[in-house]
Amino acid sequence: MLVHVPNVLTAEEVVYCRNKLTESEWVDGKVTAGQQSAKAKYNLQIPHESELSKELGEIVLRALGRNPTFTSAALPLRVFPPLFNRYDAGMEFRAHVDNAIRPLPGTGFRIRTDVSSTLFLSEPEDYDGGELIIEDTYGAHEVKLPAGDLILYPATSLHSVAPVTRGSRWASFFWSQSMVKSDTQRTLLYNFDQSIIEIRKLLPDDHSAVLGLTATYHNLVREWAEI
């Protein structure tokens, strides 16, 4: 399931993040790559242990917490601290699959990466190339969103970032361990939830159909969730 989540960050938050990132040190993006990904990855990143990365990561996490679409699509149990990357002209990330398990920095815990997310921090007109290309059963999908918008997709997907040919592409990226491990089940629940939202626009909340569908949704979550 691919879900476009618009306006995760406000325009003011995007500007703040951009200004902070402009002043920061960037390092080789291979520092967070796995063995296979390191051979395909050519970009820059903010050091994940830096105070700036932690500050901006908190801004992203707060924005996710107030966004019902992200919650509905990801059903997050844990979210990996957001990272920040940059692709200048000539940089790319060739086709790869994200690591299945990642240690949570500063803790003794690990996270299973069920859902991948990219939060765009550059406007599409600011760079050429740099599309996020996600492959699934129906082919390759090219994604290039406005600054502040997020794309959410299964971490099992083969994906890449096309070479940037002009300008610079900045983004935040992270993974979520979902309460519902199966992408098929998450997709069913997301579509179910979105349908309930539409039905509530037509019927009162205490209508028997609304109550019945809402109860069924939560009982399915209760059946499938792992916490």
The structure tokens listed for 149 are 């918008």
Tokens 């691919």 correspond to 2
- Considering the domain architecture, whether residues 146 and 201 belong to the same structural domain is answered as no
Domain final residue pick, 159, 178, 197: 178
Whether the CB-CB separation of 33 and 174 falls below 8 Å is answered with: no
- Considering the domain architecture, whether residues 62 and 100 belong to the same structural domain is answered as yes
- Considering the domain architecture, whether residues 34 and 68 belong to the same structural domain is answered as yes
- Considering the domain architecture, whether residues 165 and 204 belong to the same structural domain is answered as no
- Considering the domain architecture, whether residues 60 and 160 belong to the same structural domain is answered as yes
- Considering the domain architecture, whether residues 79 and 137 belong to the same structural domain is answered as yes
- Considering the domain architecture, whether residues 145 and 187 belong to the same structural domain is answered as no
Domain with residue 63: its CATH number is: 2.60.120.620
- Considering the domain architecture, whether residues 108 and 196 belong to the same structural domain is answered as no
Say which amino acid occupies 70.
F
- Considering the domain architecture, whether residues 34 and 54 belong to the same structural domain is answered as yes
CA distance 34 to 4: 27
- Considering the domain architecture, whether residues 94 and 130 belong to the same structural domain is answered as yes
The CA angle 15-17-20, to the nearest 5 degrees, is 105
- Considering the domain architecture, whether residues 173 and 191 belong to the same structural domain is answered as no
Domain containing residue 220: 183-224
| Count of domains observed in the chain | 2
- Tens-level pLDDT at each residue, the chain (227 residues): 999 999 999 999 999 999 999 999 999 987 766 666 667 889 999 999 999 999 999 999 999 999 999 999 999 999 999 999 999 999 999 999 999 999 998 888 999 999 999 999 999 999 999 999 999 988 999 999 999 999 999 999 999 999 999 999 999 999 999 999 999 999 999 999 999 999 999 999 999 999 999 999 999 999 999 99
- Strand partners for 107: none
DSSP letter, residue 104 = P
- Strand partners for 215: none
Q: Tell the burial category of 70 from Cβ atoms under 10 Å away from its Cβ (0-12, 13-18, 19+).
A: buried
- Considering the domain architecture, whether residues 141 and 169 belong to the same structural domain is answered as yes
The structure tokens listed for 159 are 């994906």
